Amino acid sequence: MRLTDRLSRATAGLPGPLAVVDLDTFDVNAADLLRRAAGTPARVAAKSVRVRALLDRALGAGFTGVMAFSLAEALWLVGGGTRDVLVGYPTVDTDALARWAADPVARREITLMADDVAQVALASAALRDAPAAGPAGSVCLDVDCSLRLGVGRWRAHLGTRRSPLRTAAQVADLAAAVETTEGLRVRGLMFYEAQVAGLPDASPAVRAVKRLSVPDVDRRRRDVLAAVRTAVGRDVELVNAGGTGSLESSAAGTGVTEVSAGSGLFVPGTFDHYRSFEARPAAFFGLDVVRTPGPGWATAFGGGYVASGPAGPSRLPRVATPGWALTRREGAGEVQTPLRLRRGGRDLRVGDRVWFRHAKAGELMERFAAVHLVRGDEVVGTVPTYRGEGQAFG
């Protein structure tokens, strides 16, 4: 039985649109991510999951700690019992900072991210206003890992525009500022090489960028670690690196104490062309056919779940039902999605279910209140997403 038929059989009787995760594949993917990390602790990236039960499942499989995408999310997770949460991005949410400063457990279990003294000042102000003393707040510094080639006006920036901290001196200066701020300490450093972890191996040019980036980041990481050691008088305990697309090279990097991954649990469409691992999709959404406007055409209800990033076909959902495709003129629709029959497909009728994969991982779960967990050809559980628990963190 092909995958989409199995999913249709498992969810027969459940109304669409609906989201599913194939647990057998999810578990295989979790084990494969840990294997690729080769013994280096792996932190699960919450933004790529957004389902608390599945975050817990990954932690139970061997992941160590969570990377949250907002401080408010981290507070919610810690309030529910999650421990060791690294906030992957800086925050200016003063309400969340006040709650963090006032809660000794949150201050112990949550590590803030910073790349600017302005963010440090906000955390410091929250601590000054806290009603009671508590453990020192932990801070991780985000270091730019983009690849820069050339000189002067001919310099190319390859990678994300993420952190202003690039040189060892810049990182050391901010580390010293954190250490001299009452109530704060430097816990770690993050080196996210987006041009390695986040780009598919779709062209010789991309593969060349990756080959050049890995030794460049490794060299600069050594320099940064040495400078921070001098600035704060000790080694940091946390050095985070990588993502699903770069686990092998990141885990092998000098000084790295942990890697992060999350998208590899679901394997969305943008991860189809990586050479570093086998793509095994685990997350899908199903839409029901409500019209057949002509021979070789079918219209499904819902489906306009377009991913973040540069607008274009790469951000559209992928049709998982064999032999069917989105139309170029309409794409995925707000209320309905037209589909065109291609070679090898079989006709769809009103009431049939069509299966899709989101272009990115956790963003799909913002569209659904619950996700159905499938084993074989049956649903073995239904759990709430963040949205289903009444939570939305941006």
Report the pLDDT averaged over residues 145-158.
Answer: 65
% of the chain exceeding 90 in pLDDT: 75
What Å distances lie between residue 183 and 128, 232, 250, CA to CA?
9, 15, 31
- What pLDDT score does 30 carry? 98
CATH number of 283-389: 2.40.37.20
Domain with CATH 2.40.37.20 in the chain: 283-389
- What pLDDT score does 201 carry? 59
pLDDT higher for 248 or 120?
120
pLDDT higher for 243 or 229?
229
pLDDT, tens digit, 9 for 90 and up, residues 234-285? 999 999 998 888 888 889 899 999 999 999 999 999 888 777 788 899 999 9
User: What pTM was estimated for this model as a whole?
Assistant: 0.93
State the pLDDT confidence band at 199, using cuts at 50, 70 and 90: low
- What pLDDT score does 274 carry? 78
pLDDT, tens digit, 9 for 90 and up, residues 129-148? 998 778 899 999 999 877 66
Domain with CATH 3.20.20.10 in the chain: 23-265
Q: Output the average pLDDT for the chain.
A: 92
Window from 10-19, 34-43, 273-282, 329-338 with minimum mean pLDDT: 273-282
Q: Which CATH superfamily is domain 23-265 in?
A: Alanine racemase (3.20.20.10)
